[in-house]
């Protein structure tokens, strides 16, 4: 990081720019879909929700979908007015001031980088399960080699071309989601019906448990907003970004709700067993006599993991790029490759952080590291989601466009995010999850101190956020 003492803020040279208008609405949609990585929910994440909400697991996802769509509306309002690669950094900065905007960008950088680390840690787990399903007891190379191979592939794809990497992410997710849908249809075919009286007995639901599962449901959706970071590279971003954000959240919500319903049905409504399983979807397939599909499921999980990591590096590097352009971070972050038109320094830096983190976490084991980094990532997302819900009506008020519905949407979104934050820290989780909130607060404190110093020494840097300096 570096500050300047000049009287005016001078942006990084914009002689080479991001490839503007390169992405179609479908490719923009693919960015958000890849960060959500829908396949990972039936493959692993659903266990926590099933253990908490029981047979009402699907209802918890349905309620969570409504909440996420409310947040998506707020993001859409802001995206339709500020087509910037900095997205959340710019949205919050222009509503509440540059200092708040810088902290929002700082928070989202941690969210995307931590998510990338988490999926890289999960990749060897899925590869190991795939080998087991194929009868390979002892792989030729250690599983940790696959983690670093994945980082290299992600870095190369992100470095080369945003259009190509976005297409790769979209294709990978379509394949993996398609595999899950096909196997789910086969499970339904074995049962011969889609009606499960137990899951439709609303009078028997424990609605307290339904709401208790919401924090974990929301964590399944994180990343739905990430297409906003590609605004500079999207065609007609003021229309395509809001559409991509909302439609991706809606698709994921329908997918999660239906998959949760059919997985619980296929498991014989035994949510206790599902809540204790490390491979819930393959267990469901096995009970339907489709154990042979386990290798296909793990292949889908590997594909989804790669797509998610790539999308996270794309999103995180665009935030670093924007903050580098505005000189909130070192100016090199705002450089663009002359031929590839990608923020290559920010991409290499992001991949370097992921590599160092994975190396440091190796002694803790892949599964533990996945849980730790995934939880830290969630804090970064939820804080900014809350800020979006406040910033949207403030933006509307500034322009004289605010209506009662904007206020209601903002209030509902804030209430949901506060509930998620509360549910994440209370009851107090076991060690080391009980210290993770404080690690995140420490990270935010570092950013707050740095931006405070920047505000004092070079106030013109912070005020530059009111101008379009991204290039």
* pLDDT score for 124: 94
| Nearby residues of 179 by Cβ (< 8 Å), 6 or more positions away | 39, 296, 297, 299, 300
Alpha carbons 187 and 59: distance in angstroms, whole number: 21
**Rounded to 5 degrees, what are φ and ψ at 23?**
-100, 135
The first and second tokens of residue 25, run together, are 């609405």
Torsion angle defined by CA atoms of residues 93, 95, 100 and 102, in that order, rounded to the nearest 10 degrees: -10
Do the Cβ atoms of 420 and 221 come closer than 8 Å? no
The first and second tokens of residue 307, run together, are 């797509």
For every residue of 277-322, which 3-state class applies, written as one string? Answer: CCCHHHHHHHHCCCHHHHHHHHHHHHHHHHHHHHHHHHHHHHHHHH
Residue with tokens 């101190």: 449
Give Cα 324 distance to the centre of its chain: 22
Residue 3 belongs to a domain: no
Alpha carbons 253 and 249: distance in angstroms, whole number: 6
| Residue 399 burial (CB count, 10 A) | 8
CA angle at residue 102 from 96 to 106, to 5 degrees? 130
Residue 19 belongs to a domain: no
Residue 14 belongs to a domain: no
Residue 18 belongs to a domain: no
- 3-class DSSP state for residue 23? strand
Distances from the Cα of 175 to the Cα of 150, 168, 199, 258, 396, angstroms: 18, 11, 29, 18, 40
User: What's the pTM?
Assistant: 0.88
* Residues spanned by the domain of 255: 25-466
Residue 282 belongs to a domain: yes
For every residue of 76-119, which 3-state class applies, written as one string? Answer: HHHHCCCCCCCCHHHHHHHHHCHHHHHHHHHHHHHHHHHHHHHH
CATH number at residue 325: 1.20.1740.10
Do the Cβ atoms of 92 and 466 come closer than 8 Å? no
Alpha carbons 316 and 320: distance in angstroms, whole number: 6
CA angle at residue 150 from 110 to 178, to 5 degrees? 90
* pLDDT score for 41: 87
Residue with tokens 């983690």: 147
Alpha carbons 153 and 355: distance in angstroms, whole number: 12
Residue 168 belongs to a domain: yes
* pLDDT score for 466: 57
CA-only gyration radius of the chain, Å: 22
Alpha carbons 347 and 345: distance in angstroms, whole number: 5
Do the Cβ atoms of 399 and 53 come closer than 8 Å? no
Instruction: Say how many domains are in the chain.
Output: 1
Residue 386 belongs to a domain: yes
Burial class (CB in 10 A: 0-12, 13-18, 19+), 455: middle
* pLDDT score for 8: 40
Alpha carbons 179 and 429: distance in angstroms, whole number: 34
Residue with tokens 């210290």: 435
Alpha carbons 343 and 17: distance in angstroms, whole number: 9
Encode the chain (471 residues) as per-residue pLDDT tens digits: 433 333 344 444 445 677 777 788 888 998 899 999 999 889 888 888 898 889 999 999 999 999 999 999 999 999 888 877 667 888 888 888 888 988 999 999 999 999 999 999 999 999 998 998 899 988 889 999 999 999 999 999 999 888 888 888 889 999 999 999 999 999 999 989 999 999 999 998 888 888 888 888 888 898 899 998 888 888 888 899 999 999 999 999 999 999 999 999 999 988 988 988 878 898 999 999 998 998 999 999 999 999 999 999 999 999 999 888 878 888 899 999 999 889 999 999 999 999 999 999 999 999 899 989 988 998 999 999 999 999 999 989 988 888 999 999 999 999 989 988 888 788 788 888 899 999 999 999 999 999 999 888 887 776 666 555 454
* pLDDT score for 89: 80
* pLDDT score for 184: 94
CA neighbor of 394 nearest in space, from 74, 102, 71, 72: 74
Residue 4 belongs to a domain: no
Longest dimension (CA), the chain: 73
Do the Cβ atoms of 350 and 113 come closer than 8 Å? yes
């Amino acid at each position: 990081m570096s500050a300047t003492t000049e009287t005016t803020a001078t942006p990084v040279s914009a002689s080479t720019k991001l490839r503007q208008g390169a992405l179609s609405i479908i490719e923009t949609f693919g960015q958000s879909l890849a960060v959500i990585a829908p396949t990972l929910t039936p493959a692993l994440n659903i266990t926590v929700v099933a253990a908490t909400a029981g047979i009402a697991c699907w209802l918890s996802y349905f309620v969570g979908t409504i909440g996420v769509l409310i947040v998506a509306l707020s993001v859409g309002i802001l995206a339709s007015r500020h087509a910037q690669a900095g997205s959340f950094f710019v949205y919050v900065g222009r509503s509440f001031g540059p200092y708040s905007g810088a902290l929002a960008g700082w928070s989202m950088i941690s969210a995307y980088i931590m998510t990338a680390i988490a999926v890289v840690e999960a990749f060897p787990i899925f590869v190991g399960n795939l080998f087991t399903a194929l009868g390979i007891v002892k792989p030729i190379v250690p599983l940790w080699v696959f983690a670093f191979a994945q980082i290299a592939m992600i870095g190369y794809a992100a470095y080369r071309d945003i259009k190509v990497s976005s297409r790769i992410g979209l294709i990978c997710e379509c394949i993996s989601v398609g595999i899950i849908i096909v196997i789910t249809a086969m499970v339904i075919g074995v049962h011969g019906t889609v009606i499960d009286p137990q899951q439709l007995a609303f009078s028997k639901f424990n609605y307290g448990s339904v709401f208790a599962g919401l924090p974990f449901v929301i964590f399944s959706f994180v990343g739905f907003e990430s297409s906003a970071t590609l605004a500079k590279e999207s065609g007609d971003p003021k229309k395509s970004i809001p559409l991509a954000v909302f439609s991706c959240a809606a698709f994921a919500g329908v997918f999660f709700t239906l998959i949760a319903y059919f997985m619980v049905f296929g498991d014989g409504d035994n949510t206790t067993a599902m809540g204790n399983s490390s491979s819930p979807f393959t267990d469901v397939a096995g009970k339907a006599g489709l154990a042979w599909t386990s290798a296909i499921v793990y292949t889908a999980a590997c594909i989804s993991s790669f797509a998610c990591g790539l999308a996270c590096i794309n999103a995180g590097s665009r935030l670093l790029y924007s903050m580098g352009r505005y000189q909130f971070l070192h100016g090199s972050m705002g450089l663009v490759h002359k031929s590839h038109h990608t923020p290559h320094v920010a991409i290499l830096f992001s991949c370097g952080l992921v590599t160092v983190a994975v190396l440091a976490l190796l002694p803790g084991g892949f599964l533990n590291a996945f849980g730790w980094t995934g939880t830290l990532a969630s804090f970064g997302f939820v804080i900014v989601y809350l800020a979006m819900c406040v910033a949207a009506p403030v933006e509307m008020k500034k322009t004289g466009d605010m209506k009662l519905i904007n206020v209601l949407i903002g209030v509902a979104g804030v209430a949901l995010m506060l509930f998620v934050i509360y549910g994440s820290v209370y009851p107090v989780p076991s060690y080391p999850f009980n210290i993770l909130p404080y690690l995140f607060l420490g990270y935010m404190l570092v950013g707050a101190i740095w931006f405070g110093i920047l505000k004092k020494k070079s106030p013109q840097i912070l005020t530059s956020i009111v101008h379009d300096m991204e290039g």
